Structure 1
Amino acid sequence: MSIETPNLPSSFLDAVNPLPSATIRTRWYMCVIITLSSLNYPDVIPQVYAHLDANLLKPMSPDERFLAIRQIREGLIKSTGIVGACRTGNAMRTLSHCIPEELREKDSPRSKEPEDMVRKRGKEFWSNIYARNPAFDPEASVRASPDYAFIVREVLYARIFSFDGVLDALTTGYAIVSGLYGMDCQNQLQHHMKGMLFNGATKKDLEDLRELCLTLANVLGIRFRHGPAPIPTIPEESL
């Protein structure tokens, strides 16, 4: 039995058009595609890509188009650590079918990085999110499972989240939080929204991202177990 793919209304997709820069519009498309992946609606991604192509990519130079698509792909890769390989894989392959040959990547930059360097970078990235957060217990994961804690810190943060060859720390936060909204993962949403604040986001940025992700879910008829995640605050001395 086939399941019909829902159509995103133009009123939702066209909300990207007034955003003030190509960088911010690219990030908007990235967040929408990651949320669709997290919600398990990869079949809707071609609609988003068609809008992206018509409204953002066409006026760009070839190098600008490649960079925009690379940033969206990188956002999906970062979200693997939140959403998991299966949903991310479905989304990445669906997106790949939309992308012309000249916008594809030919190699893996992560595979060329030395292990000691990525572990150091991962520790710094992890600390920048959690070390200044008094609500976070850094030993909770270790008590739960030392092996799980190792995977999170030495694999997910080192190899996935902290890679800075394409996205900066703040845009990485957008990717992570978009995936968390789709997963309705409230505790981690609080920690990673604080991480975004530590990396330069404003309360308005977080409110706009929450509205985008929850509006998309509402358009698709998704009903979450929890209500909208409250926007956190952080002490000034933590900045």
Structure 2
Amino acid sequence: MSETPTLPSSFWEPVLALPSTAPKLRWYMCVLVSLSSLNYPDVIPQVYTHLNDHFFLSTLPHTDRFNTVRHLREALIKSTGIVGAGRTGNAIRCLASCIPVDLQETESPRSLESDETARKRGREFWTRIYARNRAFDPQASVRASPDYAFVVREVIYARILSFDGVIDDLTGYVVVSALYGMDCPNQLQHHMKGMLINGATREDLKDLQELCLGLASILGVTKRHGPAPIPELPMEIK
């Protein structure tokens, strides 16, 4: 069994320099998803320990602590739609091993909503990402396999990606982080465009690329494809 690599102190410098809580939490979420996607779940305890120490979780009210940890779990759950159940399962179990009992969930919020509600929300979410991207062919997946297209749109987007009970506008960061780990340049282009269309900036995408590729480099993960070009916002959207 190979040894668990230790993330160097220099890796943490960017998050310590971020100005406020929200971007810091987003940074940790993206790192967790990247580690899951890259198949390094055993590094996750280092991330949780760093967050715990620098977020001063023990000093926060229980509700704030629970919501912070809930965001970490939800990021991994959403990434299941990209990474798959195998790697996500390993990652979320590693995360759970770090979390105190009083911060664990005891029920599934997704199980409390109807299939109709989830599928309606999933279609709306799918439309927000792709409808204004003229380079995207919405029928390509249907031509390849109608059943695959159904699973993606009516299951993955409905039940996994579009769920907004914990994370809504951060979903794009989760998806793109997972896609970097999976080395999927075509899907990266479409989802980065989707982020731009929905309010992210090219600087946001550059920072995310630097984080994900930098982590892969530290872990010694080689990529088949080079860095995906950061797209421009489509002219018709500007």
Fold match, TM over 0.5?
yes
Specify the code of the residue in structure 2 equivalent to 1:145. Answer: S
| Aligned partners of 2:133 and 2:234 also within 8 Å | no
Partner of 2:62: 62
Query: Counterparts in 2 of 1:1-239, with a 5 A limit?
Result: 2-56=1-55, 57-169=57-169, 171-238=170-237
The 2-side partners of 1:211 and 1:23 are apart by 19
The 2-side partners of 1:230 and 1:64 are apart by 37
The 1-side partners of 2:58 and 2:121 are apart by 36
SS in 2 for 1:137: coil
| 4+ residue segments displaced more than 4 Å | none
For residues 169-225 of structure 1, the C-alpha deviation after alignment (integer angstroms, 9 at most, x for no partner) is: 3x0000000000000100000011111112210010000000000110011111101
Q: CA deviation at 1:235?
A: 2.4
TM-score where L is the length of structure 2 = 0.97
| Aligned partners of 2:44 and 2:91 also within 8 Å | yes
The 2-side partners of 1:194 and 1:70 are apart by 27
| Aligned partners of 1:125 and 1:162 also within 8 Å | yes
Q: CA deviation at 1:236?
A: 4.3
Specify the code of the residue in structure 1 equivalent to 2:11. Answer: F
The 2-side partners of 1:149 and 1:188 are apart by 15
| Aligned partners of 2:193 and 2:231 also within 8 Å | yes
| Aligned partners of 2:81 and 2:160 also within 8 Å | yes
Q: CA deviation at 1:237?
A: 3.1
Q: CA deviation at 1:21?
A: 1.1
Unaligned runs of 5+ in 2: none
Identity %, equivalent residues: 66
The 2-side partners of 1:97 and 1:172 are apart by 24
Q: CA deviation at 1:115?
A: 1.2
Specify the code of the residue in structure 2 equivalent to 1:237. Answer: E
Q: CA deviation at 1:60?
A: 2.6
TM-score where L is the length of structure 1 = 0.97
The 2-side partners of 1:136 and 1:159 are apart by 23
Count of residues in Structure 1 that have an aligned counterpart in Structure 2: 237
Specify the code of the residue in structure 2 equivalent to 1:234. Answer: L
